[in-house]
Amino acid sequence: MIKQDLFEKTIIITGGNSGIGLEAAKMLVKRGARVVLAVRNEQKGKQAKKTILAENSDALVDVMKLDLSDLKSVKDFSEQFLARFENLHILINNAGVMVPPYQLTKDGFELQFGCNHLGHFALTGYLLPMLEKTPNSRVVTVSSIAHRGASIFFDNLDGAKGYKAMAFYKQSKLANLLFAQELDERLKERRISTISVACHPGISTTNLFKFGKRDAPPFLLKIAKLFLQSAEMGALPTVYAATNENLKGGEYIGPDGKGNRKGNPTIEVPAPEVYNKETMKKLWDVSEKLTGGNFHFGG
C-alpha cells in the first residue's frame, strides 16, 4: 500500500519541475510531505511550484538549483541542503536526459552517463550522512525498460570511440538500476537502515518523443497516447517505491501491464543476468573514481 501520511517527511526530487517528477511531487505533497524540487532551471522550478500550489495551497514546496551535469553544482546543492534541513527521508533520483546529440558535461563525461548516472551517484554520496541519520530513509532511483539488452561501455564511457544516442541512453539506465541494487547491498552489509529501491515509469507520453529540444510531430503523440500511459500513471511506480512500507530494499518497481509498459505499480523482477556482481562492483568503483569518491558509509 502507498503510505498516506507523509507529514514532517522531507523529500528531494531531482528534475521535479516537469513530467513524471512533477506528477510525483504533486502526489507526495498531497500526503503532507515537504518536497524539494532540485532543478537545473530555477525559473521552470518556480513555475512548477506555482502549478503545485494552484492545486494544493497548503503544499510545502522548495525550489533549489541542481545541475547534475556539473559536479560542482551537485556539491553546492548538497552543502546548501545539508545546511538548511535537518532530515532527508526520501531522495528520488529522477532527472535525466534522453538521446541528445553527442556532448560532454563540464567534467568531461558523456552527457547521458554523466547526468543520468554519475550526477545522481555523487548526489547520493553527498547526502548519505543525512539519509543515514534519518530513521527509515530511502533512496529511489528511476531507471527504464530501456536498460534491457544494454551494456556498460567501460572502454568508451565518454563516447570518444563512437557514440550512438540510444545505446548510451540505455547504458545510463542500466547504470541507474545497477547502482540502486549495489547501494542497497552495501547499506545492508553495514546494517544501515536506509534502503535503496529502483523503479521505472513504463513508457509515458511525457518524454518518449522528446529528443533534445525537438518534439515529435503531433500525429505521433496522438498515436502514442493510445498505447502509452499518462505522466500521472507513469509517476505511480516512483510514489510506490518512495512510500510503500512493505519494501525491504533492492526491489524494482514498474507497471504491471504487458511488457511493463503501462499499468499499476508492482514489484518487477529483472532478468537474472542484469545484476552481474562483477559489473556492479566495477561500475561502482569507476563511478567513485570519476566523481571524486565521496561515499562514506556510517559517517
For the chain, report the end-to-end CA distance as a whole number of angstroms. Answer: 32
Packed helices 71-84 and 120-133: angle between N→C axes, nearest 10 degrees: 20
b/e 261-281 (16+ beta carbons within 10 angstroms → b): bbbebebbebeeebbeeebbe
Residue 299 placed within a domain: no
Largest CA distance in the chain: 53
Residue 84 placed within a domain: yes
Residue 3 placed within a domain: no
Q: What per-residue confidence (pLDDT) applies to 31? A: 94
CB-facing half-sphere around the CA of 253: CA atoms within 13 A: 29
Residue 72 placed within a domain: yes
Contacts of 214 (CB under 8 A, 6+ apart): none
When divided into structural domains, the chain yields a total of 1
Residue 145 placed within a domain: yes
169 is catalytic: yes
Residue 298 placed within a domain: no
SS3 196: strand
Give which of 92, 175, 202, 73 is closest to 137, Cα–Cα.
Answer: 92
Give which of 253, 262, 239 is closest to 2, Cα–Cα.
Answer: 239
The pLDDT tens digits along the chain (299 residues) read 455 589 999 999 999 999 999 999 999 999 999 999 999 999 999 999 999 999 999 999 999 999 999 999 999 999 999 999 999 999 999 999 999 999 999 999 999 999 999 999 999 999 999 999 999 999 999 999 889 889 999 999 999 999 999 999 999 999 999 999 999 999 999 999 999 999 999 877 665 444 444 555 565 556 555 566 788 888 999 999 999 999 999 999 999 877 677 889 999 988 778 999 999 999 999 999 999 988 888 75
Residue 296 placed within a domain: no
CATH of the domain at 70: 3.40.50.720
Residue 2 placed within a domain: no
CA–CA distance, 199 with 216 (Å, rounded to integer): 26
CA–CA distance, 270 with 253 (Å, rounded to integer): 10
Cβ contact 49:72 at 8 Å: no
Catalytic: which of 102, 126, 163, 169? 169
For 182, the domain range is 10-291
Which pTM value belongs to this model?
0.93
